[in-house]
């Protein structure tokens, strides 16, 4: 690998250097509006294999491929009418579509974990877009964290987890949304939600004029059937997480939401005003801050199951799941 440069500013010179590193088969971490991605050439089996290795990710869990837009998506996958509708409204943005791979497309088979589908996303972050343009490659980009751990929303989070495994980390500041993209499969007639995320299901249904089926949720025995990535324990801090907490137990840190009388020596509030967008943006960084030696666990107050709260609760249930 080329020299490890660590965190660098996402200016034109470093984006150009990052594009060269990607073309040489190296990995580069880059900011998106959701979380930081661990980028590699999605057409190179070697680069994709290095992503799985760097993350310690099971190779049956396929990766998201980032592209510049609908035209690039159409080169790699077949686009049913619903894809045009959703792309028109939500791309660029936090929406990933699982689509039938085009036969003989130039993508690595490994990126799809051997399946005949591929997950495509057009990111909105200007640095991600500049990197896609400069490299002229589709970029495989899972969240830039070791598999099963908390996703990164700052360049420093990436350095903490994967610093010695990437050629460089482009620093684009904290991620605006802070939760991964919504993943929707368009493989069957009825669109299916594989992962709740930055775009609410209600917005998708309004756009499509039809219902979106929910994939098996956390705790469901059938989970994993349609979403190979829907492993139960995920986004996990080192210490146990207790969700829906309405009281405190000895030694626990507190992750609050909204106004509260609960207190703890170590505490953070996702949104004192009870705003779900603010809470989503703070979630991963606050979990990291509270996950410190000396606490017995992290108690998380209830989060309303509406809007972005659905995606927040999905991540919290996984963080709390048995390891
Ligand atoms: O916001 C995001 O989506 C971030 C940023 C970096 O773009 N990326 C991300 O990637 O979260 P990753 O690899 O951590 O999550 C990919 C998700 C997994 O749940 C995976 O199982 C699912 O997408 N996925 C990928 N390809 C799939 C496929 N062909 N069929 C079904 N699910 C797929
Ligand atoms: Mg991830």
For 191-222, the DSSP string reads -EEEE--SS-HHHHHHHHTS--EEPPPTT-TT
Q: What is the DSSP letter of 242?
A: E
Report which bound ligand comes closest to the CA of 59.
1
C-beta 121 within 6 A of ligand 1: yes
Ligand 1 centroid to 62 CA: how many Å?
Answer: 7
Ligand approaching nearest to the C-alpha of 180? 1
Residue 227's pLDDT is 47
Q: Quick one: pLDDT at residue 233? A: 72
Judge contact between 45 and 108, C-beta under 8 A: yes
* 269 neighbors 281 (Cβ within 8 angstroms): no
Two tokens, residue 47: 């680069």
Atom of ligand 1 nearest to the CA of 228: 21
pLDDT at 225: 39
Contact 239, 270 (CB under 8 A): no
pLDDT in 10s for each residue of the chain, 323 residues:
567 889 999 999 999 999 999 999 999 999 999 999 999 999 999 999 999 999 998 887 899 999 999 999 999 999 999 999 999 999 999 999 999 999 999 999 999 998 999 999 999 999 999 999 999 999 999 999 999 999 999 999 999 999 999 999 999 999 999 999 999 999 999 999 999 999 999 999 999 999 999 876 554 544 443 444 455 677 889 999 999 999 999 999 999 999 999 999 999 999 999 999 999 999 999 999 999 999 999 999 999 999 999 999 999 999 998 87
Measured at the CA of 181, the angle between CA 202 and CA 281, to 5 degrees, comes to 95
Q: Is 186 helix (H, G, I), strand (E, B) or coil?
A: coil
Question: Which structure tokens are listed for 214?
Answer: 């929910």
Q: Which residues are annotated as a binding site?
A: 34, 57, 61, 66, 121, 143, 151, 181, 195, 235
194 lines ligand 1 (CB under 6 A): yes
Angle at alpha carbon of residue 112, lines to 107 and 113, rounded to 5°? 125
Domains of the chain in sequence order: 7-214 (3.90.870.10), 241-320 (3.40.50.11030)
E-state strands within the chain: 7-9, 28-30, 37-41, 64-66, 95-100, 117-121, 139-140, 168-171, 182-185, 192-195, 213-214, 241-242, 252-256, 267-269, 297-300
What is the number of the ligand 1 atom nearest to the C-alpha of 141?
A: 6
> How far is 129 from 69, CA to CA, in rounded Å?
10
- CA distance linking residue 193 with residue 204, whole number of Å: 10
Global pTM exceeds 0.90: yes
State the distance from the centre of ligand 2 to the C-alpha of 28, rounded, in angstroms. Answer: 16
What interface predicted TM-score (ipTM) does this complex get? 0.98
Task: Report whether residue 110 contacts ligand 1, using a CB cutoff of 6 Å.
Answer: no
Q: What's the 24 CA to ligand 1 centre distance in angstroms? A: 24
CB atoms within 10 A of CB 84: 12
User: Residues within the annotated binding site for L-threonine?
Assistant: 34, 66, 121, 181
Residue 180 Cα to ligand 1 midpoint, Å, equals 8
As given in the structure block, the two tokens for residue 296 are: 């017995």
32 CB near ligand 1 (under 6 Å): yes
Give residue 2's pLDDT.
Answer: 62
Looking at the CA of residue 144, tell me the nearest atom of ligand 1.
6
Rounded CA separation 280/30 (Å): 20
Classify 287 as helix, strand or coil: helix
Q: Which residue has a Cα nearest atom 13 of ligand 1?
A: 142
């Amino acid at each position: 690998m080329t020299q490890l440069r660590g965190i660098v500013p996402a200016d034109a010179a470093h984006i150009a250097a990052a594009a060269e590193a990607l073309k040489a088969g190296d990995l580069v971490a880059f900011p998106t509006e959701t979380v930081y991605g661990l980028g590699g050439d999605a057409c190179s089996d070697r680069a994709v294999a290095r992503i799985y290795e760097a993350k310690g990710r099971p190779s049956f869990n396929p990766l998201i491929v980032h592209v510049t837009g609908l035209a690039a998506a159409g080169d790699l996958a077949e686009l049913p009418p619903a894809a045009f509708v959703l792309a028109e409204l939500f791309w660029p943005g936090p929406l990933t579509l699982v689509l039938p791979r085009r036969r003989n497309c130039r993508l690595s088979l490994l990126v799809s974990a051997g399946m005949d589908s591929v997950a495509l996303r057009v990111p909105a972050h200007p640095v991600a877009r500049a990197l896609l343009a400069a490299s002229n490659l589709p970029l495989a980009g899972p969240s830039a964290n070791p598999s099963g751990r908390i996703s990164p929303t700052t360049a420093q989070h990436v350095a903490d987890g994967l610093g010695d495994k990437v050629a460089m980390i482009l620093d684009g500041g904290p991620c605006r949304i802070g939760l991964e993209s919504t993943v929707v499969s368009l493989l069957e007639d009825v669109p299916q939600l594989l992962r709740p995320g930055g775009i609410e299901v209600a917005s998708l249904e309004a756009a499509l004029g039809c219902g979106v089926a929910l994939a098996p949720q956390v705790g469901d025995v059938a989970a994993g059937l349609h979403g190979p990535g829907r492993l139960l324990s995920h986004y996990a801090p080192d210490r146990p997480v207790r969700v829906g907490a309405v009281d405190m137990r000895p030694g626990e840190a507190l992750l609050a939401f909204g106004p509260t009388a609960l207190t703890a020596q170590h505490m953070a509030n996702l949104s004192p005003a009870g705003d779900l967008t603010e809470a989503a943006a703070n979630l991963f960084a606050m979990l990291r801050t509270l996950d410190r030696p000396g606490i017995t666990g992290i108690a998380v107050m209830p989060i309303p199951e509406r809007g972005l709260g659905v995606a927040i609760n999905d991540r919290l249930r996984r963080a709390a799941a048995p390891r």
